[in-house]
Amino acid sequence: MKEIATYNIEENIDYLKLLSKQYPSIRDVSAEIINLQAILNLPKGTEHFLTDLHGEYEAFTHVLRNASGVLKLKIDDIFQKLTIEQKRSLAILLYYPEQKLEIEKKTNTDIKNWYSETLYRLIQICRVVSSKYSRSKVRKALPKQFAYIIEELLHEDRDMLNKHNYFNEIINTIIDIDSADEFIIAICKLIQRLAIDRLHILGDIYDRGPGAHFILDELCSHHSVDIQWGNHDILWMGAASGSKACIANVIRISTRYANLATIEEGYGINLLPLATFAMHFYKNDPCNKFKTKFPIQMHYGERDLKMIAAMHKAISIIQFKLEGQIIKRSPQYNMEHRLLLDKIDYKETTIVLEGKQYKLNDDNFPTIDPQDPYRLSREEEDLMDRLELYFRNSEKLQKHIRFLYSHGSMYLKMNSNLLYHGCIPLDDSGEFKKVKVGKLHYSGKELLDIWDKLIRKAYFDKANIDEEQYGADIMWYLWCGDSSPLFGKDKMTTFERYFIDDKKTHIEVKNPYFHLRDDEEVCKKILREFDLDTKDSHIINGHVPVKTKQGESPIKAGGKLLVIDGGFSRAYQPMTGIAGYTLIYNSYGLRLASHEPFESTDKAVNEEKDIVSTLKVLEKINRKYIANTDEGKEIMSKIERLKMLLVAYRNGILKER
């Protein structure tokens, strides 16, 4: 052990006194140093990166359960003599043990023998996936009711005759006392957990698909996860904090996709007041441009869909009014060009945009006062007051949003990778775009840092937020503002898409980042901005779907940047040609898994239809150990402090307890 200066101990004496409560003796300190030093020599854990889940709960959980196809490959490697059918059946059992057990018990004529074979196979898989972890880490992951038994079975040496009967008897007893089902479920879930050491979600959990609340439930119970906020997440975070403009946007998107399940069933938010309002003002309006064009939730009947279309139009008009109010009271947003309701000639039903007149495809605006178009009617004010109350008081929504805050951020640096959802705003020359926030200008990393700070303040300390620093409506701005790194476009043309048929008005110009990111030097510049080594580091982001079917590659800038939005959302799959990417970073390097569309959990269980995933090696490295990771740096720092405590004990500076 290298010499530790006494003055270092004296400088850190208060901390060492606290540490001594956890490690009260020389023996305790020594044991922990030995343990931590050994952990440094284990292979790094496997990280999985996913993005733009957009409420596709079934596909997401399947990818999580099968570890992006990795567990299927392990079954192939371990059980080479099994038939394809046997491997497929074992895989589905591993992903969905509860459902698959019910089927086997109804159809298998020799269930006792099946239990025995299955238990041995699952133990073999568990032994492989747990081999890269310390016994201590595996022990902490073990289900309590079977912890001792599983630990014994994982360390079985079948060549040791003295214990051969012992292990066989454990298996037989599990079956004889009718505990096989519980044991199989427990070990399957343990395997799923050990297959993914760290889960990274690069934003946009919400909107479009029907199960964002289920995804958040899953993430809340995950053992190790971080989230980089997307613009759709920020929108829901704003809605939960009481922003009426964000609430209107959230409801509008849900009606657009005929997907009200997350709001109503997931969060218990009552949309009946909106339905009543809509049917009063738009009862005889066909609302043609507000009919769902994405038949994801076709369990709705014709009458329901008509109602949803009316709700869609009603909340859209309210949204445009609320957004206009924000723009008018917030000159710092520089969004005056998005004031549109006052540009309409309501008699001629035309609008002038950028000096050109366009005919509107809709002439029914019963709640807009042409003399004061951004003022909410009394009924609209009452409606939004009620909806704000519902969003603020939804216990489950608030729980999920607090989780997004505690586990989320604008960006993350981890193990030489830089993770963010959208972009780092750039100007046309490739320099970091300077954005005025309050009285100061920020760019690059500093810009994301100030946004992160203000996002937290908007939820936790809204009453004291500085209005000059984008104010209480910052969440709405980050959803659609031109300098938002989560949005990354010059404008959001929602109004034009609904009311103007000329598609030239629908164009949203992306920030220069999105074409400059193909330049390796630009990506290296971004990595340097975040204090990362350009040789070994990567940028990983999502937000804009990769058009795989048109030949676009997710690998940009010579491999420096990886875009992993492959279309989890079904609405994007016709564009992407696939159903999502997973990036996998294990101790041997980077692999990209591309997934075919997932039909349903029911078909996976009953017809044994797994997601077809194609894994491609992106980068091979010399095997990486925990010592080479960010976790390893933390462990080495802890070892140094423990060594200091050890010297303090041995020199009599501190007494053993």
Q: Kindly state whether residues 97 and 32 are assigned to the same domain.
A: no
Distance (Å, rounded) from C-alpha 572 to C-alpha 633? 40
Q: Kindly state whether residues 28 and 56 are assigned to the same domain.
A: no
Helices and strands counted in the chain (H then E):
28, 17
Q: Per-residue pLDDT tens for 610-635?
A: 887 888 888 888 899 999 999 999 99
Q: Mean pLDDT in each 10-residue stretch from start to end of the chain (657 residues)?
A: 70 91 95 94 93 92 90 92 92 94 89 92 93 88 88 71 75 90 93 94 93 96 96 96 96 93 95 96 93 66 89 98 95 93 95 95 96 97 97 97 98 96 95 93 96 93 72 90 95 96 96 95 97 94 87 90 86 81 91 86 84 82 92 94 92 89
Count of domains for the chain: 2
Identify the CA nearest to 44 among candidates 638, 655, 654, 628: 628
Say if CB 537 and CB 418 are below 8 A apart: yes
Q: Kindly state whether residues 95 and 196 are assigned to the same domain.
A: yes
Residues ≥6 apart with Cβ < 8 Å to 178: none
- Assess if residue 165 is contained within a domain: yes
DSSP 480-544: H-TT-TTT-BS---HHHHHHB--GGGG--PBPTHHHHTT-HHHHHHHHHHTT--TTT-EEEE-SS
Q: Kindly state whether residues 51 and 15 are assigned to the same domain.
A: no
- Assess if residue 399 is contained within a domain: no
- Assess if residue 31 is contained within a domain: yes
Q: Kindly state whether residues 62 and 175 are assigned to the same domain.
A: yes
Amino acid at site 316: S
Q: Kindly state whether residues 565 and 603 are assigned to the same domain.
A: yes
- Calculate the alpha carbon distances from 52 to 212, 260, 515 in Å: 11, 19, 20
- Assess if residue 98 is contained within a domain: yes
- Calculate the alpha carbon distances from 119 to 123, 130, 152, 168 in Å: 6, 16, 14, 11
Q: What is the pLDDT of residue 295?
A: 52
Give residue for tokens 């700070």.
453
Say if CB 543 and CB 566 are below 8 A apart: no
Say if CB 9 and CB 647 are below 8 A apart: yes
Q: Residue 123 has which token pair?
A: 């133990």
Phi, psi of 275, rounded to the nearest 5 degrees: -60, -45
Q: Kindly state whether residues 59 and 106 are assigned to the same domain.
A: yes
Alpha helices in 394-443, H assignment, sequence order = 395-407
Q: Kindly state whether residues 142 and 19 are assigned to the same domain.
A: no
- Assess if residue 332 is contained within a domain: no
Strands 47-50 and 198-201: parallel
Residues ≥6 apart with Cβ < 8 Å to 243: 472, 473, 475, 476
Q: What is the pLDDT of residue 163?
A: 66
Q: Kindly state whether residues 574 and 641 are assigned to the same domain.
A: no
Q: Kindly state whether residues 113 and 35 are assigned to the same domain.
A: no
- Assess if residue 454 is contained within a domain: no
* 202-239 residues labelled b (16+ CB within 10 A) or e (exposed): bbbbbbbbbbbbbbbbbbeeeeebbbbbbbbbbbbbbb
Q: What is the pLDDT of residue 468?
A: 66
Q: What is the pLDDT of residue 597?
A: 84
Phi, psi of 465, rounded to the nearest 5 degrees: -70, 145
Distance (Å, rounded) from C-alpha 635 to C-alpha 633? 5
Phi, psi of 506, rounded to the nearest 5 degrees: -85, -10
Classify residue 533 by its DSSP letter.
-
- Assess if residue 136 is contained within a domain: yes
The answer for 389, left when phi > 0, alpha when psi is -120 to 50, beta otherwise, is alpha
Q: What is the pLDDT of residue 167?
A: 82
Answer yes or no: pTM beyond 0.85. Answer: yes
Q: Residue 413 has which token pair?
A: 């640096």
- Residue 62: enclosing H or E segment and its boundaries? helix 57-65
Q: What is the pLDDT of residue 298?
A: 53
- Assess if residue 109 is contained within a domain: yes
Q: Residue 241 has which token pair?
A: 């904090």
Q: Residue 604 has which token pair?
A: 């996976």
Alpha helices in 142-296, H assignment, sequence order = 147-154, 161-176, 180-195, 212-220, 231-240, 244-256, 261, 272-281
Q: What is the pLDDT of residue 9?
A: 85
- Domain of residue 606 covers 47-202+542-617
Q: Kindly state whether residues 97 and 194 are assigned to the same domain.
A: yes
Q: Kindly state whether residues 59 and 174 are assigned to the same domain.
A: yes
Q: Per-residue pLDDT tens for 476-502?
A: 999 999 999 999 999 999 999 999 999
Say if CB 539 and CB 568 are below 8 A apart: no
- Residue 370: enclosing H or E segment and its boundaries? none
Q: What is the pLDDT of residue 160?
A: 56
